[in-house]
Homo-oligomer: A and B are copies of this chain.
Amino acid sequence: MSNRSQAIADILTRAILDHRLVPGCKLGERELSEVFDVSRIVIRQSLIRLADDGLAQIERNRGAFVARPSMQDAMEIYDALTLVEQGVAAQLSDRLGPAGWAELRQHVERQRKAVASGNDALADVLGQEFHTVFVRLSRNKVMQEIHAQLVRRTTLLRSLITADFDYCNLLDDHAKLIELLEKGRLKPAMELIDAHHRSVVRGYIMDRQVFPELTPREALEPYLDGKAGEPPKPAPRKKAGENGGARTHTHVHVVK
Contact = CB atoms under 8 A, between A and B. Distances in A.
A26 interface: no
Contacts of A48: 5, 45, 48-49, 52
B140 A2 contact: no
Number of this chain's copies in the complex: 2
Interface in A47-94: 48-49, 52-53, 60, 73, 76-77, 79-80, 83-84, 86-88, 91
Given A48-B45, A48-B49, A52-B53, A140 B87 contact: no
B44 A79 contact: no
Contact of A86 (B79, B87, B143): B87
B87 A142 contact: no
A142 B79 contact: yes
Given A3-B60, A48-B48, A49-B52, A146 B143 contact: no
Do most interface residues of chain A lie in helix, strand or loop, or is the interface mixed? helix
A143 B83 contact: yes
Contacts of A44: 45
A102 interface: no
A142 B80 contact: yes
Interface residues of A, number: 29
B52 A143 contact: no
Nearest to A79: B140
A76 B3 contact: no
A157 to B, nearest CB: 12
A53 B184 CA distance: 35
A30 interface: no
Contact of A41 (B41, B60, B87, B140): B41
A150 B142 CA distance: 9
19 contacts: A2-B60, A45-B48, A73-B142, A76-B140, A76-B143, A77-B142, A79-B91, A79-B140, A80-B140, A80-B142, A80-B143, A80-B146, A83-B84, A83-B91, A83-B143, A84-B84, A86-B87, A87-B87, A142-B153
